Chains A and B, each alone.
Chain A
């Protein structure tokens, strides 16, 4: 049985919920009140997650406390299709890892600006937003040229990977932190595609997507 120690408003926790959902895994949730209760600083939680990070995943005898580590573990352990983390393809493994790194950079910029706005975290919000825009510019350029090459996802595969799940939350929620996506049209189209992944679950602050195009009957 999988257990997720979860906080609804955390984008790292949302990454884990997305991965569990698209992999079709059953799990139980334990709510950890990050705000205002600061439950992640309690003794019982620190024992689970020494760096007091959310989310924490427990599966049988394994306990993991880092969002990207949890995605890698879930895909490696529970994805029979082998597409979410294509372990046999060294290029794709490299690309996935590179984008997992970008998701952390987004968490400390777009994510930090969002925590500043919504939960009152103290941060240099101007610098955080500027950094987020730099990352989004890079992401938009990558995705735009991807479209030109017939690629829909972050990695050079014809299917989504955990990279898309890791990068999506802080991008899709950026406007809550005052980071508009108006100048990143390719990023906006990619978020539509992520919302159409089979098993996608929305969260508060995010609307579900519409369905993909159907033929026009006349």
Chain B
């Protein structure tokens, strides 16, 4: 699709704001070729250029709250992440992780010459005009003119700020003036829509040491000249009926109009990352910062994990430690397991900085509610990783929480810097034996009250103990959320049964020794999976009919008793036939 106006040259990239316009914790409202843009800078400095509407009810995101890491729509509180514009939280569905497909429209961004540039056409090379970089550059105050771009370009040819400037060249809505003795000037016309444009200027070669010509004097001189020009052009053109440049409606992209391509069965690893940094994050804990080879990483919501495909062929799941808005890399914490089956040993001993790894996209089967009056996070050892992501989120949103962290010694506490940043909400419990740990858990979990939620992650026996104690203390099961590292149970694979896939209109036999997941994939039905041992929750399926035999550690007792869901990687059927919503 081309988005050029009739009679205008076809440069794809245009300035839409000056860098100084995009201050922290603000959303700049921009416009280019009839399309409104929300332009905002995250606290890490990254500038986002997005379509100016919330996906939910179309409210302008230029009135959203920029909290430094995300934009929060003012209407129903949907949150969109820095860089990718993926929705990270929907307050009306507090228990659910928003699907990755809920993603606002983003436009490419380049910040250069004191201006923010974008293009409405994806995959266009950066055809930014190169501005002279001799001396220092000084962006002028932008002036909006209610006239078509062509008229404004015409008027700018006789731009008369001072006698020193001489028009040197003109192309693509750009006029370059040389200064005979003073600074040169580039004037750019940003076509906002058919009847409005913005004139942006950059002075180059400004001599900051010259006391006679101060920055402010120059800015005021050119502002007066541009105001004169605007008055002249607007009176010549006369009042214009706005809105005759409705943005062209794009065709539905092919990838959405067609059936998705058949994916290969098995675990997918669509991301390629480079180990940007590897460090000791605590005793026996290696920290990894993984940066994308190209583009942006999909956002990891708090509680999410990724599959890491290792050079030795192993695939392991690790929780992402990232705080909200920290989207330029994934941070993982990997504990060296003494009885490693190849995962942690490989990451500790073989993988080095600079290595490239394949990852799955992050999945969130351990989502964090943000509607609790108080949230308890209870971590054992390396189980701190997802809870650290949650604690950082709750802290950023100013929500009441405590992170209880059990470890062997102070030195075993991982991610000291992040813990320190969380301040008083972190309670460290070091060197406790089983009995003391149980007693401490009893103290922590004693305060059940409505409006509280608890999240547990750690070694199996600790989670078991905490869940039992929580039940004794009166916590309803739906308020006790947990994630196991692995499924320690012996899996019985001896039964055989039939599975009907209701959506796919298929019946498959599951013989002894095969899992439902394997049988379903063999029949050609795509099914996501991750840990494949009944711990992570990725391969969940809804049960329509039949009696599942649960062998996972993902579902809680109530969910297991209801018989409405099954983990297809380990669980089986007690009835001869199981009907699944697949």
Contact = CB atoms under 8 A, between A and B. Distances in A.
Interface of A: 141, 144-145, 147-149, 181-183, 185, 188-189, 192, 207, 209-218
Contacts, number: 63
B72 to A, nearest CB: 8
A189 B29 CA distance: 10
Given A144-B141, A148-B219, A207-B74, A213 B25 contact: yes
Given A145-B216, A183-B144, A207-B74, A216 B29 contact: no
Contacts of B323: 217
Contacts of A149: 216
Interface of B: 17, 20-21, 23-26, 28-31, 36, 43-44, 62-63, 65-68, 72, 74, 141-142, 144, 196, 198, 215-216, 219-220, 223, 323, 417-418, 421
B28 A209 contact: no
A211 B25 contact: yes
Contacts of A213: 24-25, 43, 68
Contacts of A183: 144, 196, 198
B28 A145 contact: no
List of 4 A-B pairs having minimum Cβ-Cβ separation, nearest first: A210-B65, A213-B24, A183-B144, A216-B43
Given A183-B144, A207-B74, A213-B24, A188 B66 contact: no
Contacts of A147: 20
A185 B17 CA distance: 9
Nearest to B395: A217
Contacts of A212: 24-25
B223 A141 contact: yes
A139 B541 CA distance: 59
Contacts of B20: 147
Contacts of B23: 189
A181 B29 contact: yes
Contacts of A217: 323, 417-418, 421
Contacts of B44: 216
Contact of A210 (B25, B28, B29, B36): B25
Contacts of B68: 213-214, 216
Given A188-B28, A189-B26, A217-B323, A210 B67 contact: yes
A192 to B, nearest CB: 5
A192 B25 contact: yes
Contacts of B65: 207, 209-210
B30 to A, nearest CB: 8
A182 B67 CA distance: 21
A192 B26 contact: yes
B67 A211 contact: yes
B489 to A, nearest CB: 39
Contacts of A185: 17, 21, 28-29, 142
Given A147-B20, A185-B29, 16 more contacts: A141-B223, A144-B141, A145-B141, A182-B29, A182-B36, A183-B144, A188-B28, A192-B25, A207-B74, A210-B25, A210-B66, A212-B25, A213-B68, A214-B43, A216-B44, A217-B421
